[in-house]
Structure 1
Amino acid sequence: MNKKPPRQPLRRRYSVAAHIALLPMAFTVLFAYLGTMLWTARVSVSSSRTFPASDFVGLAQYTRLFNNDRWLLSLHNIVWYGALFIAACLLLGFLLAVFIDQKVAAEGVLRTVFLYPYAMSFVATGLIWQWLLNPELGIQEVLRQIGFPEARFDWIVDQDKVIFTVVIATVWQASGLVMALLLSGLRGIDDELWKATRIDGIPRWRVYVSIVLPMLGASISTAFVLLFVMVVKLFDAVVAMTQGGPGTASEVPAKFIMDYLFGRANLGLASAASVVLLSTVLAIVAPVLYARHRGNRRKDTA
């Protein structure tokens, strides 16, 4: 009697099936992402204008880029915006997470309320805050109608303060995400820690500063990476709120790239700006991800 060949182990079958299922995503990453990055880098060292060119001009586009006052202004704005946005989101998100972690009443409703703005698009957020900050229709007009005729809140039309209005709008939208990330970290802290600190008489604020925050390192680094990516991608909120104005006072790199790519048909300069932006992201995010990876490996080997 012929014996049937041994059946392939189920685990191996599942492994092969999983790898096959991942093939479309692998091709997408290789060709749509990495391929696009390499193509952009190639175009950035050419004299491309409306259409891609196959010549090579070295770093001429990068020289032109950093001699462009509008680009330098956009870098200045994004640095200020990024520092204020990330710091405010982390602080506000942490305070919201601590508040909800006290097991307050209607906790589920509050979590939804705080996280809901993040579900909105940046275009919707920008339009809402454009109306709120409009000197003739928004907060300023409301204050004057209720008895404060000298009240002024016209930052959105003030060249020196307009970038702060973008910070306010986007912090309102993104701080809920930070709250959710940090709340999950807080819920992972053992209750015995709180009991021990109460017995030792350690002030609660000191526990959060000296013990809890270091324990939330992974959650904070995740939040930082997500917020930093939002900073680099900032475009929709600026276009919806200010169109980069007044003048070019709220210009940001992503808007500069889109304007030169489509509005001015300067493919080479827009590609150079894109490469600079990508290099900045890699320079900031890669060390954070590497540090997290090393930390996880140390925990696994401990």
Structure 2
Amino acid sequence: MNIRWSRIVPQLALSPAVFLTLVAFVGSIIWTIYMSFTRSRRLPDYEIHWDRPFVQYERLLGDKAWSISLDNLIVLAFGSMIAILVGFVLAALIEREKRGEDFFRTVFLYPLAVSLIVTGVAWRWVFNPQLGIENFLHELGLTWIDFNWLADGETAMYAIILASVWQSSGFYMALMLAGLKGISDEIWQAARLDGVPLWRVYVEVIIPMMKFTFLTCAILLSLGVIKAYDIVVAMTNGGPGQSTWVPAYFTINAMTNKGNLGYASAAATMMLVITLMVFLPLVLITAWQQRRAKKGADT
């Protein structure tokens, strides 16, 4: 009897959380997908016009602002990969130089404690021509330098990428540092005895051994990029024009400014599809690599 209760009690304790997850998360996803097939405006309209059930998706695929959002999403994704590279380099430097590890780890992790809104506002000041880097350089006599990236639609997204990399590099550094600490010292000693250059040790040995860490970082990065919204609002509010729109900004704008629930639901559903297209392959690759590594260890 005691054994049975020891199994049932944890399940009973978790049941409210499972119920809330099903209602608030899964239920919301199903409701949003359903709304995307309706012609709802500010208020829900649960009638589906079966003659054209995909009307919202047709409008979405023909919307230039949505195309701009997808293009910016790709730019943001590739640009944000720099954060993983910077995180790995910082972790490698800290791991090789043991002195001051706690200090530097705290310093590089500090931006992570700042919200994306605060990060965006701070970097908007940095790019302000009257207050930021451009003003500082002009005072030094370098008047030909133009650092007002946020005012130019061609460079505004790169400013957002730079702020995102600054904010997230410390997080990826912590993950990489944990992966580096899991590597045996015998590998470093063997490489030192064989006279192998340090860069070859990292490229040919360390990085392949840390493939699961890199995959984890890639998964987290992809999720963060797809839902990027706060930092865009704080730095540019989608401007200049629509040059820094991303899917999350497009979706919320369709709901709040245009008051079009059906259209916003279609955009949100497309975001879910994009997330699954990126997230599931990475998860499957990670699971396959883990299974392969386990079979290799067993043999």
Normalising by structure 1, we get a TM-score of 0.94
Matches within 5 A, 1:1-302: 8-9=2-3, 12-56=4-48, 57-86=52-81, 88-301=82-295, 302=298
CA distance in 2, matches of 1:122, 1:290: 30
CA distance in 2, matches of 1:144, 1:216: 44
CA distance in 2, matches of 1:54, 1:41: 12
CA distance in 1, matches of 2:277, 2:17: 25
Deviation string, structure 1 residues 40-62 (Cα, Å, up to 9, x no partner): 00000111111111222411100
CA distance in 1, matches of 2:215, 2:11: 30
**Gaps spanning 5+ residues in structure 2: where?**
none
CA distance in 1, matches of 2:205, 2:294: 22
Q: CA deviation at 1:28?
A: 2.0
Q: CA deviation at 1:195?
A: 0.9
The AA in structure 1 aligned to 2:79 is L
Deviation string, structure 1 residues 277-301 (Cα, Å, up to 9, x no partner): 1111111111211222233334445
SS at match of 2:42: coil
Normalising by structure 2, we get a TM-score of 0.94
Q: CA deviation at 1:140?
A: 0.0
SS at match of 1:52: coil
Shifted more, 186-195 versus 47-56: the winner is 47-56
CA distance in 2, matches of 1:82, 1:300: 31
Q: After TM superposition, what 4+ stretches of structure 1 lie above 6 angstroms from structure 2?
A: none
The AA in structure 2 aligned to 1:31 is V
Q: CA deviation at 1:13?
A: 3.7
SS at match of 2:2: coil
CA distance in 2, matches of 1:241, 1:103: 36
The AA in structure 1 aligned to 2:59 is R
Aligned residue-pair number: 293
The AA in structure 1 aligned to 2:108 is F
SS at match of 1:49: coil
Deviation string, structure 1 residues 173-219 (Cα, Å, up to 9, x no partner): 00111100011000000000111111222111011011111111111
Deviation string, structure 1 residues 209-232 (Cα, Å, up to 9, x no partner): 111111111111111111111101
Deviation string, structure 1 residues 62-96 (Cα, Å, up to 9, x no partner): 0100111111111111111111112x011101100
CA distance in 2, matches of 1:211, 1:105: 24
Q: CA deviation at 1:139?
A: 0.4
SS at match of 1:40: helix
Shifted more, 209-218 versus 123-132: the winner is 209-218
Shifted more, 292-301 versus 193-202: the winner is 292-301
CA RMSD of the aligned region, Å?
1.3
